[in-house]
Amino acid sequence: MIFHRLFAEQALLPDGWARNVLFEVDADGFVSAVTADSPGQSPGEGAERVAGPVVPGMANLHSHAFQRVMAGLAEQAAHPDDSFWTWRELMYRFVGRLDPPQIEAIATQLYVELLKAGYTAVGEFHYLHHAPDGAAYADRAETGKRLLAAARTAGLGITLLPVLYGYGGFGGQPLGEGQRRFRNDPEGILEIVARLQAAASGDPQVRIGLAPHSLRAVTPGSLSEALEGVNALDPAAPLHIHVAEQTKEVEECLAWCGRRPVAWLLGEVAVDSRWCLVHATHMESSETGALARSGAVAGLCPTTEANLGDGLFDGPRFWTAGGAWGIGSDSHVSQSPIEELRLLEYGQRLRDRRRNVLRGTAPGVGAELFRGALAGGAQALGRPLGRLAPGSRADLLVLDPETPALIGLEGDPLLDALVFAGNVNPVRDVAVGGRWVVRQGRHTAEAQALRGFAEARRALLA
Ligand code: NGQ
Ligand code: ZN
């Protein structure tokens, strides 16, 4: 049954830009048909003519939603050696104060913002499972369900990745005080996965995966036990892990096993296209090539990696090797896919003192970045996203044809301008599963979401 027909004068389809495109969307929010060069100026009856060029919605493959409430609050110099690790201490202090309704309120605000900026799906890397004293809630999946509720309220697609977090460092070191809320053994996290799968069953907007937090937070035994368990529940479940974000992690991994984190992971675990390796900042060239060949997605989070002083990904080598990649907003110092893509390229330019570094087959660098992040993001989230074709989700953006950055442009040059000059948000309307969630830059739930967020922020600052 056709639920909705949309007509766009210009749209980015899997094979390239097309004109006069008629999209048909079914009642479950999947694209059921796409017809380019649809006859005449008056398309088939009942079609809604959209106001500007249409592109697929962007995937945000890495989010810790609760960190939205502390974005911007960790920018005061405290020690001469402020670092990722001192930021993490501050983050643990915020974590200790949040209750489930606040977690939901913060996530709702974040998800509304992500939609307005052009993300239509998120990968939620969720480790804040338990009460502040470390005790499990009556429903072990309580906080995960809060995130599903926030995504539903906002209308955002979600791949929820419950996190296995068992240890405080390599070799099974005990957890610190600030990490008590994260703690699960394989059995505990698999129960959460199963409960969330049941809660999400039949919902095409939701997918459940699993995320070992990092090699710091698991042992080889707990990792393989959790992977076996999740494969029994869903053999295609997306698998995400933080890896090699900081040089200290690389040093500690070398001290523990004599190998670097990415090398260890690729050598000991069957890493394939189901996997997303988040950050993968510090790799030797052999690791970069091997990661690209594994088929896994590199989950790049440029604004957070810059904010936390991580380092720069070796883009040229990974691009040459044909690696898959996508973007995430991680700690949410930015909610804009444009800013992530731009900073990804700018970091490479600043390091290499060259221009147009992350190039693909087509000349446009912005277009290459936009397309690459659509494909890798869809892969990492394990949902049919990122392409406007039959069988995929009808998640799309209508760009504002009146925004100065885009005026007079079409096709790939429009994407170049979007990425490198889209400073005023050029996203006008957003549909997820064929339903409008943002119209003329406004989300229907934005006022309510902001009130909930303001309350949570006030409570945290009190
Ligand atoms: C996180 N964030 O899990 O929120 C981490 C910090 C850690 C980033 N890596 C904590 N950006 O890695 O131990
Ligand atoms: Zn992260």
pLDDT tens string 396-439: 999 999 999 999 999 999 999 999 998 899 999 999 999 999 99
pLDDT at 244: 98
How far is ligand 2, taken at its centre, from the CA of residue 330, in Å? 5
- Residue 10 confidence (pLDDT): 97
pLDDT band at 58 (very low <50, low <70, confident <90, very high): very high
Please choose, from the candidates 159, 225, 229, 217, the residue with its C-alpha nearest in 3D space to the C-alpha of residue 379. Answer: 159
User: Is 330 one of the annotated active-site residues of the chain?
Assistant: yes
Band of pLDDT at residue 146, cut at 50, 70 and 90: very high
Strand partners, 173: 169
46 has a pLDDT exceeding 70: yes
Cα angle value 241/374/155 (rounded, 5°): 85
C-alpha of residue 455 to centroid of ligand 2, in Å: 25
How many CB atoms sit inside 10 A of residue 332's CB? 26
Cα distance between residue 75 and residue 308, in whole Å = 10
Q: Which residues of 202-227 are buried (b: 16+ CB within 10 A; e: fewer)?
A: eeebbbbbbbbbbbbbbeeebbebbb
> Once rounded to an integer, what is the mean pLDDT over residues 333-345?
98
| Band of residue 461 on the pLDDT scale cut at 50, 70, 90 | very high
Whether ligand 1 lies within 6 angstroms of the CB of 145 is answered as no
The per-residue pLDDT for 3 is 83
Residue labelled with tokens 């499990």: 136
pLDDT at 22 (0 to 100): 97
pLDDT at 101 > cutoff 80: yes
pLDDT tier at 39, thresholds 50, 70, 90:
confident
In a domain, 158, yes or no: yes
Q: How many whole angstroms separate alpha carbon 32 and alpha carbon 235?
A: 27
- 71 Cα to the center of ligand 1, angstroms: 14
Residue 453 lies in a domain: no
Q: Is residue 425 located within the same domain as residue 310? A: no
**Do the bridges between strand 239-243 and strand 211-212 make them parallel or antiparallel, or are there none, so unpaired?**
unpaired
Quick check: is 451 in a domain? no
Q: Looking at the predicted structure, is the pLDDT value of residue 45 above 90?
A: no
Tokens of 247: 């040089």
Residue nearest ligand 1's atom 10 by CA: 88
Q: Does any domain span residue 368?
A: yes
The CATH number assigned to the domain holding 428 equals: 2.30.40.10
Report pLDDT digits (tens) over 167-215: 999 999 999 999 999 999 999 999 999 999 999 999 999 999 999 999 9
pLDDT at res. 41: 52
Whether 105 and 21 map to the same domain: the answer is no
Q: Does residue 317 fall inside a structural domain? A: yes
CA separation for the pair 89, 70 (Å, rounded): 13
Q: For residue 24, what pLDDT band results from cuts at 50, 70 and 90? A: very high
- Position 43 confidence tier, pLDDT thresholds 50, 70, 90: low
Give the separation between CA 247 and CA 244, rounded to whole angstroms. Answer: 7
Task: Tell whether 178 and 76 lie within a shared domain.
Answer: yes
Q: Do 50 and 63 sit in the same domain of this protein?
A: no
Q: How far is the CA of 412 from the centre of ligand 1 (A)?
A: 35
**DSSP secondary structure, 239-277, as one string:** EEEEES-SHHHHHHHHHHHSS-HHHHHHHHS---TTEEE
Ligand 1, residue 330: give the atom nearest the CA. 11
| 209 shares a domain with 112 | yes
Please indicate, yes or no, if residue 455 is contained in any of the structural domains: no
- Count of the separate structural domains present in the chain: 2
Predicted pLDDT at 40: 56
Same domain, 204 and 139: yes
66 and 7 in a common domain:
no
Please say if 130 is a catalytic residue. Answer: no
Percent of the chain with pLDDT over 70: 98
For 393-407, give one letter per residue: b (16+ CB within 10 A) or e. Answer: bbbbbbbbbebebbe
Q: Which domain holds residue 347?
A: 58-381
> If you take atom 3 of ligand 1, which residue's CA is the nearest one?
213
Asked if residue 462 belongs to a domain, the reply is no
Residue 266: per-residue pLDDT: 98
- With 0-12 CB in 10 A as exposed, 13-18 as middle and 19+ as buried, what is 114? buried
89-100 pLDDT, tens digit each: 999 999 999 999
Check 126, 240, 279, 443 and give the catalytic one.
Answer: 279
Q: What is the pLDDT of residue 108?
A: 98
Q: What is the mean pLDDT of residues 118-136?
A: 98
Statement to judge: residues 71 and 43 lie in one domain:
no
Q: How far apart are CA 366 and CA 345, in angstroms?
A: 9
Q: 159, 171, 253, 149: which is closest to 206 by C-alpha? A: 159
Same domain, 152 and 107: yes
- The whole-number pLDDT of residue 42 equals 58
Average pLDDT over residues 296-317: 98
pLDDT band at 338 (very low <50, low <70, confident <90, very high): very high
User: What CATH number does residue 149 fall under?
Assistant: 3.20.20.140
User: Tokens 């957003």, residue?
Assistant: 430
Pair 189, 326 in one domain: yes
Q: Is 331 in the pocket of ligand 1 (CB under 6 A)?
A: yes
Q: Mean pLDDT score of the chain, rounded to an integer?
A: 97
Whole-angstrom Cα distance, residue 244 to residue 131?
29
- Do 22 and 105 share a domain, yes or no? no
pLDDT digits (tens, 9 = 90+) for 352-396: 999 999 999 889 999 999 999 999 999 999 999 999 999 999 999
C-alpha span between 386 and 172 (Å, rounded): 39
Q: Tell whether ligand 1 has an atom less than 6 A from the beta carbon of residue 345.
A: no
Alpha carbons 85 and 386: distance in angstroms, whole number: 35
d(CA 396, CA 385): 10
Ligand 1 atom closest to residue 216's alpha carbon, by position in its atom list: 13
User: Same domain for 190 and 156?
Assistant: yes
- Count the alpha carbons within 13 Å of 448 in the hemisphere toward its beta carbon: 8
**Environment class of 254 (CB within 10 Å of its CB; exposed 0-12, middle 13-18, buried 19+):** middle
The verdict on residue 460 lying in a domain is no
**Distance between Cα 215 and ligand 1 center (Å):** 12
Q: How confident is the model at residue 54 (pLDDT cuts 50, 70, 90)?
A: very high
From the CB of 304, is ligand 1 less than 6 Å away? Answer: yes
Could you tell me what percent of the chain has a pLDDT over 90? 96
